[in-house]
Structure 1
Amino acid sequence: MKTMTWAAALLSLAAALQPANAADSFSSTQKDEIGAIVRDYLLEHPDMLMEMQQALEKKQNEARMAQAKIGVDANKELIFNAPYDLSVGNPQGKVTVVEFFDYNCGYCRRAMKDMDVIVKSNPDVRFVLKEFPILGPDSVAAHKVSDAFRNIAPEKYGEFHRELLGGDHADEARAIDVAKKLGVTEDALRAEMGKPGFDARVQDAYKLATDLGISGTPSYVIGNEAIFGAVGADALNQKIANVGQCGKTVC
């Protein structure tokens, strides 16, 4: 990734040192000489590569955040109030945090502690769990069991979520075992899993992720902002506090 970025940066710098019609203005020998000058300059000033890398990353991040804000504004109801999503914390909380997660995401497993810290320290937070299976067939199968479980026993969904996410690799068999421990039979799960709806709900999550620029888990939506990656409870709590104060993640 960095090698490609630096290569792009080198080309940009070389282009900047040449007139717009350089292809017509310079001979092959002159172009080689210009390239050698640029190369020698960058070898003597390697810190410029880092500056160019940082500038490019900043520009890309700003573009990503702008896309996410447009996506949030266009999909608020489906993000924050999808009828099939369940939450932990205060169901009437003044601030809603939405987490896109996959049951086989190691970062999500560690971020579950952040969720617990947030809901315990913020009685006005509603923490929505957006099922987003992106890590292969086992994840899709585990989430299908989870979808059935939340339809059958929504009051136990928080327990199910913590148990399945907090353990070993999640697949259909393990998800069913977790559900059975919480009192839901395999027959009941199979019957619920046979009903239509799961694919449409997953497609909703995929579409939202595309609109928001989300490509990995965990990712969050708070207020008017999408947050990418396991940024930690402190960073999320600061954004929650800002939303409570001014309605935006940055006041």
Structure 2
Amino acid sequence: MKAVSKALILATMLIPSAVCAQQPRLSDEDRKAVVDEVIEHFRKNPGELLGAVAAQKAQAPAAPSVEAFAGSAVDPWYGRADAAISIMVFSDYGCSTCNEVEKMLDNIAATRGDVKIVHRDYPVSGEDAVAASLDVIQAFNSKPQGDWMKLRQQLMSKGVAPEYRIEALRAAGIEQSGETSAGVKLTLLKNRELARRAGVKTLPAVIVMKGDGVVPISGDVTVEGVNEAIRLLSSN
């Protein structure tokens, strides 16, 4: 049996109905409201291109093309660049269950040399979570980067309230300029569209990939489930 077929079979076994304790299941209307809220949040920052993105959203119900996200910043990632297995995680720093899954993935990556973790920040719990994601993505893309991993770990441990974000930035040695690049903001919109196309309806959501094999896991993400997905994909 081909890897893709076996992966799809496992996907039906691993996707449960459980959801993040701080993140209820989102209806289409709720997701639209969240996107509208984020765009409004971005509009508070003058001189950026989000007005054009919002206008495009209002004019056409069709999904944005890949070109619409040209110039977006690189999503934070770590591990070997040529790792055989990529684990993509859609997560929210304002969600405690998401943060526990992130720590679990950190442990998996630390014990394996064939895994790369790619963070697709998907903040839906509020403006503080959006700001936290923007900080991490900007830190990862800045030159020099600063200790973006320490920033991320501080946010996961202490929270995303403004005072904690400031403390986390200082602890990581990252200077906050007060301005967020358009590319960083565009990355969040890109990730929302990727999540929509991937069918992500609950957080946290993990997609394990190797070659053409794909195993999605959503909601109740466990170390056993991730390891089983890796085992299945590695057996082909």
**TM superposition score normalised by structure 2:** 0.62
What CA distance in whole angstroms lies between the structure 1 residues aligned with 2:73 and 2:138? Answer: 14
Please state how far the C-alpha of 1:155 moved relative to its aligned partner.
6.1
Change (3 A) 1:155 1:87: farther
Change (3 A) 1:222 1:150: same
Indicate whether 1:216 and 2:202 are aligned.
Answer: yes
Q: Which AA in structure 1 matches 2:184?
A: F
1:1-251 paired onto structure 2 within 5 Å:
84-152=74-142, 153-154=144-145, 156-167=147-158, 169-186=159-176, 188=177, 190-191=178-179, 193=180, 195-223=181-209, 224-246=214-236
Contact 1:112–1:162 under 8 Å retained in 2: no
Contact 1:108–1:230 under 8 Å retained in 2: no
What CA distance in whole angstroms lies between the structure 1 residues aligned with 2:75 and 2:131? Answer: 18
What is the alpha-carbon root mean square deviation over aligned residues? 2.6
Which one has the largest radius of gyration? 1
Contact 1:149–1:179 under 8 Å retained in 2: no
Gaps in structure 2 of 5+ consecutive residues: 1-11, 17-65
What CA distance in whole angstroms lies between the structure 1 residues aligned with 2:79 and 2:123? Answer: 23
Change (3 A) 1:129 1:197: same
Please state how far the C-alpha of 1:94 moved relative to its aligned partner.
0.9
1:135 aligned counterpart, secondary structure? coil
1:226 aligned counterpart, secondary structure? strand
What CA distance in whole angstroms lies between the structure 1 residues aligned with 2:232 and 2:149? Answer: 26
Gaps in structure 1 of 5+ consecutive residues: 1-57, 63-74, 247-251
Please state how far the C-alpha of 1:83 moved relative to its aligned partner.
5.9
What CA distance in whole angstroms lies between the structure 1 residues aligned with 2:148 and 2:166? Answer: 13
- Paired-residue identity, %: 20
Q: Which AA in structure 1 matches 2:147?
A: K
Contact 2:79–2:109 under 8 Å retained in 1: yes
Contact 2:73–2:183 under 8 Å retained in 1: no
Q: Which of the pair has the greater relative contact order for Cα pairs under 8 Å at 6+ separation?
A: 2
Deviation track 1:132-189 (CA, whole Å, cap 9, x = no partner) reads: 111111111221222222222546222221221122x303442232111111123x3x
Change (3 A) 1:155 1:180: closer
Query: How many pairs were matched up?
Result: 166
2:227 aligned counterpart, secondary structure? helix
What CA distance in whole angstroms lies between the structure 1 residues aligned with 2:231 and 2:151? Answer: 29
- After TM superposition, where is structure 1 displaced by more than 6 Å over at least 4 residues in a row? none
What CA distance in whole angstroms lies between the structure 1 residues aligned with 2:148 and 2:174? Answer: 11
Contact 1:88–1:158 under 8 Å retained in 2: no
